[in-house]
Amino acid sequence: MKNSNSQLNYLVKLGWLFSWGIILVVFLFFNAFNAFNVLAQEEEKEVSETTEVSIQADSVLYDKGTDKMNFKGNLRIIQEDIVLTAEEADFDVDQKIGQIKNNIRLVQKDITITGETLEAFLNEKRYIFQGEVKLIQERKDEEGKEDNILWNAPQLEILADSRDITASGGVKIFKKDYTITAEQAIYNDQEQKIDLKGKVRIEEKDSDRWISGDLAIFYIESERLEVTGNVRSGIKLD
């Protein structure tokens, strides 16, 4: 009887260990399956985030030795929501950097930029314009009337993803009732403000008021202005 009980206890323990072994195997299997799914999703996301740049032109010259491409005539580059046109471009294929010139025009939604030369960093979607750069931001006020902002500068850089802008070398900005000049202007699209640096001057057209200083922040939506450093102001009397 004692041997029978011992055998029974042994079989119970063996069954218990076997059951836990199955549970452990199932647990490890599902963990491995979930890890594989996560990895597959990350790889799929990586592939989906990869974008392709379309380039059209009348002619192209490719130098395999230097991995450079030269496009000429009716150049058209499309990268997601950006359409860039020009007459000529030299591209470093490996670095995805282009030197573009002649009749340059970049359009992204409500922004249009023109300039004499352009350095395009396609991987970063960063574009640096030089030479009589003009940028137009198409906008409307609360009443639905046109309230565009026009930028003029010798150099202007735009980050296409964030739509942030840095203009330098003596900047002029025109916005309906205002003319703004500064050495440098930095536009933050998310906060809808322009940080101005160096020889800042803001003129209000209709009232002949003006204010100047070293630094300023212009809040676009509210048209609120903060000026600091050597502040001067002029008000025309009746």
Domain map (residue ranges) of the chain: 1-50
Question: In the predicted model, is pLDDT for residue 65 greater than 60?
Answer: yes
Beta-carbon contacts of 89 under 8 Å, excluding residues fewer than 6 positions away, are: 55, 57, 70, 71, 75, 77, 98, 99, 100, 101, 120
Question: For 142-153, what is each residue's pLDDT tens digit?
Answer: 788 889 999 999
Residue pair 104/82 in contact by the 8 Å Cβ criterion: no
Residue pair 180/218 in contact by the 8 Å Cβ criterion: yes
Which carries the bigger pLDDT value, residue 209 or residue 173?
Answer: 173
User: Please, which pLDDT band fits residue 6 given cuts at 50, 70 and 90?
Assistant: low
Neighbours of 202 (CB within 10 A): 22
Counting other chains too, the contacts that 93-99 makes at CB distance below 8 Å and 24 or more residues apart are 93/67, 93/68, 93/69, 94/67, 96/53, 96/121, 96/122, 96/123, 97/121, 97/122, 98/122
The amino acid at residue 202 is I
Question: In the predicted model, is pLDDT for residue 32 greater than 50?
Answer: no
Question: For 95-109, what is each residue's pLDDT tens digit?
Answer: 999 999 999 999 999
Q: Could you tell me what percent of the chain has a pLDDT over 70?
A: 79
Residue 23, both tokens: 């549970």
Question: In the predicted model, is pLDDT for residue 175 greater than 50?
Answer: yes
User: Please, which pLDDT band fits residue 12 given cuts at 50, 70 and 90?
Assistant: very low
Kindly tell me the sign of the dihedral angle through the C-alpha atoms of 205, 171, 142, 226. Answer: negative
C-alpha 53/C-alpha 78 separation (Å) is 6
Rounded to an integer, the average pLDDT of 87-92 is 95
pTM across the whole model = 0.76
pLDDT value, residue 83: 96
Ranges 5-9, 140-144, 197-201, 234-238: which has the least confidence = 5-9
Q: Give exposure, 39-55, as e/b (b: 16+ Cβ within 10 Å).
A: eeeeeeeeeeeeeebeb
Q: Could you tell me what percent of the chain has a pLDDT over 90?
A: 65
pLDDT value, residue 53: 87
Beta-carbon contacts of 69 under 8 Å, excluding residues fewer than 6 positions away, are: 60, 61, 62, 63, 90, 91, 93
